[in-house]
Each structure stands twice: as structure tokens, then as C-alpha cells.
Structure 1
Amino acid sequence: MRSSRRTIFLVVLILLACGCLGMLFGQKITGASDNEIRDDLRTFSSVYDVVEQNYAEPVSADKAIYNGAIPGMLRVLDPHSNFFDPKQYALLREEQRGKYYGVGMQVGPRNNKVIVIAPFAGAPAYRAGIRPGDVIIAVDGKPTDNMSTSDVADLLKGPKGTTVRIAVIREGSEKPLEFSVIRDEIPRYSVDVHFMIRPGIGYMHVSGFQETTEHEVQEALDQMGDLKGLILDLRQNPGGLLSEGVGVADKFLKKGQVIVSHHGRSSPEKIYRAPHGNNGRDYPLVVLVNRGTASAAEIVSGAIQDHDRGLIAGETTFGKGLVQTVYPLSENTGLALTTAHYYTPSGRLIQREYAGVSLYDYYYNPADNDNNANKEVKLTDSGRTVYGGGGITPDVKIAPQKGNPFQDRLLIKYAFFNFSKHYMALHHTVDKGFNVDDAVMQEFRKFLDEQKIAFNEAELKDNDEWIRGNIKAELFVNQFGAQEGLRVHAETDPMVLKGLDLLPQAKQLADNARKTIAEKSAGTATASGAKVAANQNQ
């Protein structure tokens, strides 16, 4: 009986989704349409009953419905409409809120074990003394053998103020270590690193757009003070909440400027304007983007580009111009349904083509979006040409730096991560003034030999700067937390360094745009005045 009730509930979910589809396609769900839906639901129920009773193995209703029927139905619409089962929906809300309750550390798989990648600076795990590289062997007495990373992560989470016991194996320790850690609220920072990369020049990386992002960006700008230039890094930013994208763009535009507009079949056009503006802080701005820059991150990039506020540099972005509305459903599930298209201030729809493209190819093998021959042409405020479709085309293209076989070998073997564990076991600490000198490089050579990672002196010489940067970054993660490691990486990132070189060009772009717009306004005013005078003479 319980199974029957559950099946009925799942079929009701299908009905709800079908109703949404009817709205999307503009069908009038009355009369014959009602009969058609009832017939389709009866057919679905019959098929499910046959499968449940006769399939060679027991059938999981969750797998058949949550992972099969509903997602399959949504996939025929577009790649971004999606159904969330209870666990997925809880994770979505956690990401949107920008916080969770746990111990505050990133864990991951290594050699069939779950290890600590990095504790977050100041979090309970960090304060307790848990370090990167610690192998988690038990949580609250439960051995982690054969557990997945997500299983271990779930055990580490729990109500604020509760205690969790974590047993680890650490290199250099003869026996396992056990930590009693009190869970706390852990923020998921979307501004994961910001600092003054040069005198007067700020750097900020925004990893996503959640409920706290606008506030985090404002705090970062306030902390950096009177800026003479800014590198805004939106690489690998998959987007998030539209409202937060609007709030971030507001920090860089003039009050009243259009940031984005959207409309769909059942929703009227809505235009979002900068509610506050940048209060005249027009410092040079370079925005770094790549193929992983999507959705709300493209809204910010598109608004800055269309208003000639800053220079967009890097690769053509992903190209997601669809807006999803998340509908909460029964039993803690949710439906993310595409309800509108969004347009940049110049009127560009940047959504890339998905008809006839597999879901895998859509996400992981994007077509060449750099050919502008057949793209929609629009103009920025100053009259520069920009293109719709297939993402945001950067003003300055910067090809991503590709690794060589030696670099790939070190990364695949986790050479830097493992060396940092080894180094800290011997030396125990590093300070903020630490740099990778020849003595450290000699230790690294010896470590590679011990780990049987092949190398020759020519490879070490040719990759010397890259190696030193990665060693320092991993040691800083170990000693000071993940944010300091990200800072070290940013300081030596070739694209970030190129962005610094582009700041004068960004200033020239904005200055020229202001001049052009002023001249156009003056010309319009003169023409209007002449027309009035002519009318009076008549």
C-alpha cells in the first residue's frame, strides 16, 4: 500500500511537470487537452506497473522517476530545465544561501581514501588543527572505508553546536589522530580571494552568485579602498541568482543604466537598472572571462561591455541566456524551469545553440563560438560592434595557457599537494615571507625521486617559475588556508598579469566612450534646438 501511494505521488509530480510544459508551449489545457493528459498519465502508470512487476531486478521508484522519467521529459525542452530530488534540492538551497553547518573543510578522493584538501581559514576544522593531506579514517566511530566523498561530507555536517569526532592518519605521525570538532555555521564565500595585487590596483575573483555575493563584493571593494584600477576575475563562474548579478553590476555602472532585461511567453518584459550606481568611481576595469563564465556572470560581463565601462578579456564565454524559475514541489523536491530569455543592455541574446546537440557536447565540447559571421550584430553605447549568440565575445582575446606533458605529469600525481604534506611534516611551519629558494627546490627533486615521478634537469629548468609558484601555493594552503593559496596562484597567473597590462587600454576605452557619448548628446541637443528655431521662424 505504501508503494502504491508513493507511485501515485510520483505520477502527480509528472502531472505538475506536464502542466508546466503545457504553459511553456502555449497549449490550452482544457477539453481535449485534459483528456490527452489523462490518457498519457494512464499510459505512463501502466508502463511503470509493467516495469515494476516484471523487470529482471527490483525497481527503485526514485531511480525510475527522479533520475529517469522527469529529467528525460525536461531534457527535450532545453539543457537547463532540471528536476531536483530531495538531496539535490537541499544542496541547491545550501549553495544559494551561501552557508551550511559543519566543520569547514574541503575533502576529496585520493587513492581510494577520502582526504582533507584544505580546511577553511578560521573554521572549526582549521582551529582544531586538521591539515591538508590528513586521511579521514573514521567519523564518530564509523570507518570511512568504501565511503564516497559525499558520504563523508554528509557525516561531517550537522546542527550548529554539536560535536563530531574525526579520526585521521597524518604523514609523520606514528598513530591515528582524533579531533573533537564543534560544528558551526560555515559561510560559502563567493568572493573567494581579493587583495591589492599592485599599489592602487585591486584583484577580486567571484566564484558564483548566491544570496551573499553583492554584499561580499561591496565589502571587498570597501576593504581595498581608493582604487586606481581593478581586475574582476569571473573565470569558471557558472552564475547563480539573477538578483545578485544585478547587484554586482550595479557596483560598476552609473545609476539608472540598464543591466539586463528578460521576458518569456507568460511573463512580461522586466528591465533591471542600476539602483545605486558606482558614485563616480570610474577607475579602469578589466574583466577576465573564459568558457566557464556563464549565466549571471555573463550578465555582469555583458552590461560592463555594452556600456563601455571596462575591457572584457579572455575567451568567449559559455553562452547561457536562459532564465530558470525554481518551483518548490512536494516532499522537498524542486523544478527549475526555463521561463524567460535575458538580454544585455544592447539587446543581445547570448544563448548558444542547443538544438540537436547532446547534453554532454553542450556542456563539455562547445562548438567554436569565435566565428561572428552569422551572429546578431548590436552596438555598445559608444557605437562599438558586439555580437549576440554563443556567449560574450571578449574585447581582447587571451588564449588559455596550456600545460606541457611534464606539468601534466606532476599534476596527475598530485606532486605539489603531496610535497606540501611531506615538507610540513619535516619543517612544521612557513611564514608569510616564505619563498621557494634553491634549497626547497633540491628537496622537491629528492621527493620526486622518492615518489618515482620521472623528470630531467631540462624539464625542471624550463618550468622553474611554474614549479616554484605551485609549491608556494600548496604550502600556503597548508599553513594559512585555501584563500592564501588562491592569492599566490593569482599573483603568478599569466592571464591576471595580462589583465594588469590591459588596464591602460581599459582606461582609454572608457575615456573614449565618454567623449563619444558626450559628442552624440551635444549633437542631438544642437539638432533639436535648430529644429525648434526653424519651427518658430515658420
Structure 2
Amino acid sequence: MSSRARRTLLSLIVFFTACGVAGMFISQKVGAQSSTDESAFRDSLKKFTDVYQVVADNYAEPLTGDKPDDVIYDGAIPSMLHTLDPHSNFYDPKSYAKMREDQHGRYFGVGMTIQQQNNKIIVVYPSEGTPAFKAGIRPGDLIVSVDGKPTEGLDTSAVADLLKGPKGTHVHLTVTREGAASPLTFDLVRDDISHPSIDLKYEIRPGVLYIHITQFQETTGREFSDAIDQAGDIKGLLLDLRGNPGGLLTEAVSVCDKLLNKGQLIVSQRGRAYPEQSYRAQHGNGGHVFPVVVLVNHGTASAAEIVSGALQDHDRAIISGEITFGKGLVQTVYPLSDNTGLALTTYHYYTPSGRLIQRNYNGVSLYDYYYNHGQPQNNKDREVKLTDSGRTVYGGGGITPDDDITTPKANHFQELLAAHNVFFNYTKHYFINHTVDKNFQVDDAVMTDFKQFLTAQNISYTDQDLNGVDDWLKTNIKAYLFGTQFGETQRLRIEADWDPMIAKALTYMPQAEALEQTALKDAAAKQTAQNSPTE
């Protein structure tokens, strides 16, 4: 067996031993561990190491290079965890570092999102206010080298590592840009780069604040609180949680705390090894109330479902959109050796009304669980609970919205343009000979140029194709052009102003206000009853 394979096997034994010791400790706390269980665990560990030893000694090709790690990190450990549930997970050193960076919401670097295309590294966009943005790096720039090291053949993770470094240090970039006669060079000084979880917040209608939370990380609660406080006299809030995969439970609690009354229950955790733990609003909204509409879809999961469920159960918000993902399992992340980590399911979470949001995953493949979950067959098979005012809500399969809004389905022509990344690529073409200002509109001249670009890219279309999605085309053309000229926030805002799901959700604001008034009256009546003398 090679030294690399032996090292990997040792790491595996450490991993399983850590899991076994943790399991024994937990079981002992509930009085369930026996010497027979411990012996069975050690026998299973020996069987696995024996199998690995045979593979390492006799496989047709030697386990050299990254193969030992691949066998363990991508095979044995994930397969073991996925027999438990779909969400227990193992993080190899790269994914563990990325997970921790995402949770912190900041790092030292130059501040741009990159992507690998055709074996080359392309800038998707520089984040506003960062060294990359200030230096004039644009979406679509191809990174040729970093500090003289060619990037061809490197993946995004490797290039990102080259761009990161201690604050105040220099990094030299060479990029090529469509229309530029020669490569461009940039000398950037690394800085503290924040990655906010709220990527868009603005007054979308007079007095109505729109906030989109991408995930729940260490800064989310503070970001949300600041956004509410800075908005002043709010007449309504549209909270967009579409595509939010969740994140840190504490930050979901913090967001709810800003909207609920002090003392109201937000979420409960129940696990095998520990007592039930409940989270309540510690500070509350201080009487600052306004109607709230929450927009969700099939990609809204975990911590985002905690927020949706708590606001729905307390009649604090109208939930609109599509039924959410249905992840009610809570993972605790355990740091392991070699900069790896284990995310192990330790709790189930329940909304204030007692709903378990976790969807059934027994007998379902991992692929179908994540990509083909769809709607539950019918509500009669789901647990029924009541909100504070007596409205019916359902558990056991995600958060069911109060008002349905279906995600628009793209037609064949739209899918074709998306597959060819047309708007991103057209933007690079347009800026060769043009620029835009804040008064720019997509007029006939721009549309003629866009059609010529489609033809040059061998993308066939008919006038019917174009006319059928005219508003969508003009919105995306303008959004991507503004994103390059003024920053990613402008692109997101133009798209939000057009978004038909957002437009529909805003129509439920009067319904949300009526719900809020009912909740206030119920709370006042309960308070009066509590204060009334009894005989």
C-alpha cells in the first residue's frame, strides 16, 4: 500500500472513531449505550479497514495521486452518511473551508465572482466597492494569469486561492477583454471583502421595502435589522426567500426577532440526545409593525423555512409563491482532522404551531429528493395545525403558501438563449463600441443590433419568438448592460422591477395588512382578558 493510501486510511479510521466516540457519548447520555454496541462498532470498523486494505493492495491500478482521498472523501464517507438521511454530509478540506467562508460572509481578496468556461476562467462580476470593481475589471473579462501564473487548465477554486491572500498585499492580474487590442494588466491590493447575505434591498413601491436574502450567514441578522431601521417609516415589507437554501439557525431566529413580538416562539429543536430547545423573540419589534409578504419557492429550505413557518404560524405574514423544499433536519457541524468537517443531523425543528417541515425521504433516491420533489399528493395525508388566529396550516412537507404564485416556465426560445448565455455575451459585444448611462433604454436600434448578434452566434429565431417575449428580452438586455456599467446591484434591481412573481406578491400587501390588524386585535383581546379581575 502506498504512503498516500496509508495516510488516507489513517484519516478514515480517525473519522470513524470520532463518529463512534461521539455516538457512544450521545447514547450514554440517554442510557442507550452498551458494551455490545461498542464491540459491534469496533467490529464494523475493522471490516471496513480490511476491505480498504484489499482494495489498496489489489486494485488493477495503484491508488496514487488523489485516488485514495477520492475513494474516502467522495465514496465511502458520503455513502455512509446518505444512508442516514439526505442532509448529513462530509466536507473535504476545500469544501469545509468554503463552507466556513460562506458562514462568515467575508474573506481577504479582490472581490469578484469567477467561473470556468471552456477551460478558461471568466469574470462573472466584480462586487461593488471592492478592489476589482474600483480597478475597472468587467464581467466577461478572461483571467489569463495571476502573478504571472497562467490560469489555463486551473479550476475556479485554484484561481480563487491565487486571488486571496493577506490584507494589503498586491496581486497582479492579466486579462483579455473582447474588443481590446491587447491584454490588460491590473495591480490590485487585497482587502477585507464582505459577502452580504442581502444582495438587494430598496423601496420597490412607495413605502414598501423589498429585501432578498440569499442565505443565512453570520451577518444576516444584523444586515436585516439595519435594512429595516434605515428604511424609516415602512408601510410594507416584501421579504424574498426564493432559492434560499438556509444556513445558520441563529440568524433565522434573529430575523424573526425583528418582526415578532417579544417572547413569541420562533422554533423548537428536538433531538434524541438532548432536551428540547426553544427559541423565542428576545427583543421583539418594539411595536413597529407593518404588513409583511414573504415570497418562497421550491428552493426555499431549512432556515428560510423556519422564518416562513414562524411568521405564518403567528399570522405575521402572508406566505406567497410555491410550496417550499421541506427540510426540517438540523445539522451540527463537527470539525475533524486534516481540516475536514462532519455535518451530522442532530435535531428536528418544529414551527411554533408544532409543524415538522421535513419531507419524507424514505425510499427516495438522492437525485429525486433534491430535484423531483414537486408538490405533496394531497393535504389529507399531512399533519394539520392551526395558526394563532385559527387558520389551517400543514406540516410534513414544506411550508404551503397562503397564496400560490407559480414560477414562470421558460419557452424553448428562452431556454435556448439561456443555454448560450446570450445576454452575458451580448453585453461584452455591445460595450466594444457603445456605453450606457442611467437614461438608457432598449430602443429599436439596440434590438436591431441584438438580432444581428444572434445571427452571428448562429442562433436561429423568428419574429414570433422575439415578439412573444419582448418585455423579457428588453429587461435582460438592459439589466446585463447596467450590471456591467454600474454594478451587479443595478442588474438585480432591474430584474426585480420586472419580475412577475414579485409583482403578484405585492398585490397581497392589503391582505397582509388585514392579517396584521386581526393579529393585533387578537393580541389586545388576550391581554385584556389576562388583566381582567376574576371572581
TM range (shorter): over 0.9
Report the CA distance between 1:5 and its aligned residue.
5.4
Indicate conservation of the 8 Å contact 1:308/1:380, yes or no.
yes
2:41 and 2:159 map into 1 onto residues whose CA distance is 43
Report the CA distance between 1:23 and its aligned residue.
5.9
Greater Cα offset, 388-397 or 504-513: 504-513
Task: State yes or no: 1:347 paired with 2:327.
Answer: no
Report the CA distance between 1:505 and its aligned residue.
1.0
2:58 and 2:181 map into 1 onto residues whose CA distance is 55
Indicate conservation of the 8 Å contact 2:269/2:277, yes or no.
yes
Task: State yes or no: 1:56 paired with 2:63.
Answer: no
Report the CA distance between 1:113 and its aligned residue.
2.3
Q: Which position in structure 2 is the counterpart of 1:504?
A: 510
Task: State yes or no: 1:446 paired with 2:448.
Answer: no
What's the TM-score, normalizing by structure 1?
0.94
Q: Which amino acid aligns with 1:52?
A: A
Task: State yes or no: 1:46 paired with 2:50.
Answer: yes
Report the CA distance between 1:517 and its aligned residue.
4.8
Report the CA distance between 1:447 and its aligned residue.
1.7
**Within 5 Å, which residues of 2 pair with 1:196-275?**
196-275=203-282
Greater Cα offset, 119-128 or 62-71: 62-71
Report the CA distance between 1:364 and its aligned residue.
1.0
What's the TM-score, normalizing by structure 2?
0.94
Q: Which amino acid aligns with 2:351?
A: T
Q: Which position in structure 1 is the counterpart of 2:157?
A: 150
1:280 and 1:518 map into 2 onto residues whose CA distance is 12
Q: Which position in structure 1 is the counterpart of 2:15?
A: 13
Q: Which position in structure 2 is the counterpart of 1:65?
A: 72
Q: Which position in structure 2 is the counterpart of 1:536?
A: none
What is the root-mean-square deviation in Å for CA atoms of aligned residues? Answer: 1.9
Could you report, residue by residue, the CA deviation over 1:255-286 in whole angstroms, capped at 9, with x for unpaired residues? 11111111211111111111111121211111
Q: Which position in structure 2 is the counterpart of 1:462?
A: 468
Structure 1: state its 5+ residue gaps.
Answer: 534-538
Report the CA distance between 1:499 and its aligned residue.
1.4
Task: State yes or no: 1:176 paired with 2:183.
Answer: yes
Indicate conservation of the 8 Å contact 2:8/2:69, yes or no.
no
Indicate conservation of the 8 Å contact 2:88/2:344, yes or no.
yes
Report the CA distance between 1:192 and its aligned residue.
0.4
Q: Which amino acid aligns with 1:159?
A: P
1:522 and 1:225 map into 2 onto residues whose CA distance is 31
Task: State yes or no: 1:375 paired with 2:364.
Answer: no
Indicate conservation of the 8 Å contact 2:290/2:516, yes or no.
no
Q: Which amino acid aligns with 2:516?
A: A
Paired residue for 1:194, among 180, 201, 222? Answer: 201
Task: State yes or no: 1:297 paired with 2:299.
Answer: no
SS of the residue aligned with 1:425?
coil
Q: How many residues align?
A: 528
Q: Which amino acid aligns with 1:374?
A: D
Could you report, residue by residue, the CA deviation over 1:470-500 in whole angstroms, capped at 9, with x for unpaired residues? 0111011101111111111111000111111
Q: Which position in structure 2 is the counterpart of 1:132?
A: 139
Greater Cα offset, 326-335 or 465-474: 326-335
Task: State yes or no: 1:279 paired with 2:283.
Answer: no
Report the CA distance between 1:504 and its aligned residue.
0.6
Indicate conservation of the 8 Å contact 1:477/1:485, yes or no.
yes
Q: Which amino acid aligns with 2:499?
A: D
Indicate conservation of the 8 Å contact 1:233/1:287, yes or no.
yes
2:24 and 2:357 map into 1 onto residues whose CA distance is 26
Structure 2: state its 5+ residue gaps.
Answer: none
Report percent identity of matched pairs: 56
Could you report, residue by residue, the CA deviation over 1:298-320 in whole angstroms, capped at 9, with x for unpaired residues? 01111100000110000000011
CA 1:441–1:205 in 2, change beyond 3 Å: closer, same or farther? same
Indicate conservation of the 8 Å contact 2:291/2:512, yes or no.
yes
Q: Which amino acid aligns with 2:462?
A: N
Report the CA distance between 1:291 and its aligned residue.
0.6
Indicate conservation of the 8 Å contact 1:382/1:517, yes or no.
no
Indicate conservation of the 8 Å contact 1:24/1:339, yes or no.
no
